[in-house]
Structure 1
């Protein structure tokens, strides 16, 4: 093969590679740009382990995730472990008594799992803080909402009481 033929062949190959790269690059950039747009639309979260209301928020988020995941064999033990970590011994006993009597989850005060939850600080005094947990049961304008008042010890951050709110 002559030098001129090799140069022509290499030039053709380089040109083909360049054209292929030019055709693929916009498609890749478009896919990347839409992925970035979707990622930017996701909400952010932050936390502070010293904040008692954040502690309640963390508990309800993790607990709802665990009871939602009915097909995961590790979900039930995770929910039980979360109760042990976040609730005082007295609160655990109160929850167990509610569950035995009502045949419903004593953390959610229900037999099913909410699709959304929100926690707000509502006050403190005598070494305790109170948070209002709002649970949303379904989507749309007619979704049911329930509320739970959660009392926490300011020193230990353990949940010491849960009551259905009006």
Structure 2
């Protein structure tokens, strides 16, 4: 066999192996995830750093990821850094006071971590916007939900207040 034919054969084998790995990798990624073995249901995402509701959604997405990853040694520092970036100083104080009193997470208003979250714009006025965060605690038809009203400053996009929705 000539050198050219061997190179072609090796290249074809490598390409086949690479394509096979690419086809199998998404399924393997879901199977090795820490908490739930499933592939990502969202095939694309987008955002706008100028949108106040998107800012709240970005925070809750990243924060939930950080507290969900309890076995990651950097998770607690990440959650603290997210609070520092997304929350105003006054909101951080209010969250800390809630946590000291209730012994629960002052962002989620719970002692555990939701499996899903959604954020919807609910209104604005006087330089602030309000978003409703819906947290889902479990899967299936009997999953519990809780709601949080999050107020943000329209100029800075910082979260200025959080409270359980009634």
| TM-score over 0.5 (shorter chain) | yes
Q: Identify, as 1 or 2, the structure richer in helix.
A: 1
Residue of structure 2 in register with 1:131 after alignment: 131
Q: Structure 1 residues 29, 155: closer, same or farther in 2, change over 3 A? A: closer
The number of residue pairs the alignment matches comes to 155
Q: Which runs of 5+ in 2 are unaligned?
A: 28-38
Q: CA deviation at 1:45?
A: 0.6
Q: Which runs of 5+ in 1 are unaligned?
A: 1-9
CA distance in 2, matches of 1:110, 1:36: 35
CA distance in 2, matches of 1:55, 1:61: 10
Q: CA deviation at 1:43?
A: 2.4
Moved more, 34-43 or 137-146: 34-43
Q: CA deviation at 1:44?
A: 1.0
Name which one, 1 or 2, has greater alpha-carbon Rg: 1
CA distance in 2, matches of 1:153, 1:30: 48
Report whether the alignment pairs 1:45 with 2:45: yes
Question: Could you list the per-position Cα deviations for residues 79-119 of structure 1 after superposition, in whole angstroms to 9, with x for gaps in the alignment?
Answer: 01110110001100100010001000000000000000000
Structure 1's consecutive aligned runs of 4 or more residues displaced over 2 angstroms after TM superposition are 27-43
Report whether the alignment pairs 1:94 with 2:102: no
- TM-score, scaled relative to structure 1: 0.79
**RMSD after superposition:** 3.0
